[in-house]
Amino acid sequence: MLQIQRSCLSLILFALGCTTASASTWTFASGGSYYVTSGSSYGNKVTFYQGDERLRTFAWSNTADTPASGFETAHIRRFSTGLGVCNRDEGAISDCIGGSVDHQVDNVSHQDLVLFLFESPQAMQALTIDPWGVWDRDVSFWVGTVSPTVTLTGATFGSLATLGFSPQVNSLNGPGEERLTIGLGGLVGNALLVAALNPADGSADRFKIHSLVTADPTTVVPLPAAAWLFVSALGAVAGVRRLA
């Protein structure tokens, strides 16, 4: 029953987010959008291009000692199945990249985060993740209107709002090895921040970020407030039953 509720919530979010006339799909896996990697250490970036559009991606993880669990830069890389992250506590970057699981976006010991930064506001439609192996696939995300030079260094989960991010939204999903598409609800901003479930619930979430669908917010059909209230209520029920 819980699995059905999780699936229904993702499908409803996807449907609500897709009430738009046009959309852009950014694919981060092999054969996808053209990209350029800048830098080879922590704090690097991978920039994707589609026509005149540019999308910058960065990685952080809450590995800092000061402030406690504060964010530090991590290493982001485009792998064959999508974007992955190596944080500062996962050994040398070369070892992390060559390993089998550490370079996924995960919440094992520390929370990895991927920031997608657009040139203009976008309506966030859907995110597809791709685990390497059988893992739980719970996702937390934030949409924001932030400075084009925003940095998460020194921030914490509790201070994201001061940078311009909206409240955290969770998508709770069962374990599996298949790709999974998560609805983002059409929330509008120039930034999307994605992490494995925060806080972790004892079941390791690991995945690569395969693709992202966005739309021009001027083409999105406004939704009744009651629809979002229904989604929020359903999400709360799924979260409560998960903890029970």
| Number of compact structural domains in the chain | 1
The percent of residues above 90 in pLDDT, for the chain, comes to: 75
Which residues, 6 or more positions from 161, have their beta carbon under 8 angstroms from its beta carbon?
A: 167
- Residue 228, pLDDT above cutoff 50: no
3-state class percentages of the chain: helix first, strand second, coil last, to nearest 5: 20, 45, 35
What are all long-range contacts of 131-134, with beta carbons under 8 Å and residues at least 24 apart?
A: 131/104, 131/176, 131/177, 131/206, 131/207, 131/208, 132/81, 132/100, 132/101, 132/104, 132/177, 132/206, 132/207, 132/208, 133/100, 133/101, 133/177, 133/206, 134/175, 134/176, 134/177
Confidence of residue 205 (pLDDT cuts 50, 70, 90): very high
Residue 44 has which token pair? 């690097």
Helices 225-243, 2-17: crossing angle, 10 deg rounding? 150
Tens of pLDDT, residues 110-149: 999 999 999 999 999 999 999 988 999 999 999 999 999 9
**Domain range for residue 129?**
2-243
For the stretch 162-192, pLDDT in tens is: 999 999 999 999 999 999 999 999 999 999 9
Q: What local confidence, expressed as pLDDT, does residue 220 receive?
A: 64
pTM for the structure as a whole: 0.83
